[in-house]
Amino acid sequence: MKLLLALFTLVSFASFGQDAKSQAILDELSKKMKTHKSSYVEFSVNIKNSSTGTDENETGKGWVKGEKYYGSFGDNTIISNGTKTWTVIKEEKTVYITDADEDDDEMLNPKKLMTLWESGFKNKYGKETTIGSEKVDMIYLYPKNASSVDYHTIVIYISKTSKELKKVIVKMKDGTRMTYKLTKYTANPTVSDSKFVYNKSKFPGYTEISD
C-alpha cells in the first residue's frame, strides 16, 4: 500500500515560485526538527473518496532517530536501519526488503511524514486558521514533477506557537482525500537502535521478498 503521495495544481507553476512567507515558516519548522536527535509521533488518518464510497480511519505511530525509523500504520509496519528497509504487510504475511534510499511507502514512513516539505515541492502560503483553539498557518505544497506522483496537492498546517506540524491533507488525482492529524509529538525520546532492526522471530511464517 502506497502511503503518502503527491500533487498537481490547477494554477500554473510558472505563475509563482517559492512563496517567501511560507518558505520562512517551513525553514523554521525544519530547523526545529533538526535539533531533535530522535522523535516519536502518533497520528490518525482518514481516507475518503465520495465517488467510491470510501471512508476509512486508521491510526499510526512512529519513531525516528537520525536516518533510522520505525513506523506502524494499521496492521502494517515499516522498519529501517538507514541502510535496509523492511516493509511488513500483515494481510499478505509478506516482508518486502529494499535499500533504504528506494523506500517509497511514505504513508508508513514517519521520517518522510515529518520532513515531506523539504524537497520536491513548490509552496504557497494559504492563510492563518485554527485547529480547535490553536492558531495555525496553512501552506500548500505542489509537486515539481507532477506527472510522476499520484497526488496533485498537499496542504499542511503548522502551529504558530509550538512551530510543530499539526495536520496534513493529501489530495489524490483519483479524488481520494487523505487527512493526517498529528495527535502526539515527543522530542528526543530514549529509543534503542534495536528498534530499527527487523526481527524475524516477531513475524513467524512471513515470506521475505528482496529487490
At 164-192, the pLDDT tens digits run: 999 999 999 999 999 999 999 999 999 99
User: What is the pTM (predicted TM-score) of this model?
Assistant: 0.81
Q: What is the mean pLDDT of residues 192-198?
A: 94
Residue 94 has pLDDT above 60, yes or no: yes
Backbone angles phi, psi at 99, to 5 degrees: -70, 145
* β-pair partners for 78: 71, 87
CATH at 136: 2.50.20.10
8 A C-beta contact, residue 41 and residue 59 = no
pLDDT surpassing 50 at residue 137: yes
Question: What's the pLDDT at 125?
Answer: 96
Closest by alpha carbon to 44, among 29, 21, 62, 61? 61
Q: Where are the alpha helices (DSSP H) in the chain?
A: 20-34, 110-113
Is 197 contained in some domain? Answer: no
Contact 138, 157 (CB under 8 A): yes
Each as own residue / partner, the long-range contacts of residues 186-189 (CB below 8 Å, 24 or more positions apart, any chain) are: 186/39, 186/40, 186/41, 187/36, 187/38, 187/39, 188/36, 188/37, 188/38, 188/39, 189/38, 189/39, 189/40, 189/63
Q: Give the count of domains, the chain.
A: 1
Q: In the chain, what's the furthest Cα-to-Cα distance?
A: 54
Whether residue 175 is contained in a domain is answered as yes
* Residue range of the domain that includes 47: 13-186
**Spatial separation of the C-alpha atoms in residues 75 and 72, rounded to whole Å:** 7
142 in any annotated domain: yes
Would you say residue 191 lies in a domain?
no
Per the CB < 8 A criterion, the answer to whether 85 and 99 are in contact is yes
- Paired sense of beta strands 94-99 and 121-131, if any: unpaired
pLDDT digits (tens, 9 = 90+) for 1-51: 443 333 223 233 333 446 899 999 999 999 888 899 999 999 999 999 999
The candidate with the shortest Cα–Cα distance to 84, out of 169, 198, 200, 202, is 198
Q: How confident is the model at residue 133 (pLDDT cuts 50, 70, 90)?
A: very high
Report the DSSP pairing between strands 84-89 and 76-80: antiparallel
